[in-house]
Amino acid sequence: MKIIVLVKETLNTEAKFVPEKDQKPKLEDGRFIINPFDEYAIEAALQLVEEKGGEVVLYSLGRQEAQVTLRTALAMGAHRAVLITSGARNSKTISRILGDKIKENDPDFDLIISGWISVDDNRAQVPGRLSKILNIPLANVIMNIELKGDELICEREGDTEQEIVKLSLPAFVAVQRGINIPRYPTVRNIMDAKQKRFDIISADEYEDDWEGVVYKMPPKRTAGKIIDGSDPKLAAKLLVEELLKEKLL
């Protein structure tokens, strides 16, 4: 069984960013991590392969330096990795590149697993777009996976009930937080990851119609105003005046 896991390198949302002179955040290599939702996808794939046998292949699209982050994913237990170097930011272009490269290099996959969303842009578009490109069924925001023969049983939490989704392989599953607890790489696995197959593919031939966005630190907040509440009527009057002045009423 061949399972492809999509892994995205994202900024660590818990890291402290120091602004440059132009107020842009200073992006250092140590600020990048595996998208947390993709860690659940890696763990789900590893558990399936440990139970049924097979291979876990990582696919990632991004900068050349993402090799460091992808090595961490390999150290979790994946068998090999494919890094597609590209500056694409448009979800449509990203999905097209991933689809073309998967068809070219691993067309015999049985299952694709990814996190249902990434913590940096929160667009959650790639699973839907890529499943359409590959013409395979998609189960989204999944909390549990079970493989019975050639049928995949997926559980999803609805607003008022548990939904059971059955898919025939090959298929695409986008997982939610809580499906499992991702394992930590052992020292031995970290060392072994350095010897695992790691392919780097360029996708410079693809045009991306993404319009760049400048990221800046938010403006400093002004100090709040305190109204003396010893006279309730006067305090209410002053409060209304301030709200009207700020055009909040």
Q: For a pLDDT cut of 90, what percent of the chain falls above it? A: 51
Q: According to the model, what pLDDT value does residue 121 have?
A: 81
Mean pLDDT over 204-228 rounds to 75
pTM for the model stands at 0.81
Task: Label residue 58 exposed, middle or buried (CB < 10 Å: 0-12, 13-18, 19+).
Answer: buried
Domain 2-202 indexed as CATH 3.40.50.620: yes
The boundaries of every CATH 3.40.50.620 domain in the chain are 2-202
User: Do 44 and 113 contact (CB within 8 A), yes or no?
Assistant: yes
Q: According to the model, what pLDDT value does residue 214 have?
A: 65
- pLDDT band of residue 245 (cuts 50, 70, 90) is confident
pLDDT tens-digit series, residues 157-199: 877 888 899 999 999 999 999 899 999 988 888 998 888 999 9
